[in-house]
Amino acid sequence: MAEQETTGNETGRSGDKRDEHFSLPQLEFEMALDMAEGHEEGWIHLVRQAAEMAGGDLLFVLPSFSPDGEAREKAMVRIMDDGREMLLFVSRGEQGFVYEGEEAIPDEIKDFARASIDVLELMQADEDITAQRGEDDTSAPEETPA
The rounded distance, in Å, linking the Cα atoms of 96 and 1 is 5
Are the C-beta atoms of residues 46 and 39 closer than 8 Å to each other? yes
Count of alpha carbons within 13 angstroms of residue 107, beta-carbon side? 0
d(CA 75, CA 47) in angstroms, rounded, equals 8
- Answer whether 99's CB lies under 8 Å from 88's CB: yes
Q: Between these two residues, 63 and 19, which has the higher pLDDT value?
A: 63
Q: pLDDT tens for residues 77-117?
A: 999 888 888 999 998 877 788 889 889 999 999 999 999 89
Per-residue pLDDT tens digits for 111-132? 999 998 999 888 888 888 888 8
**pLDDT tens digits, one per residue of 27-48:** 899 998 888 766 667 888 989 9
Q: 63 has which bridge partners?
A: 73
User: What is the overall mean pLDDT for the chain?
Assistant: 78
- Where along the chain do its domains lie? 3-134
Q: Which amino acid is at 102?
A: E
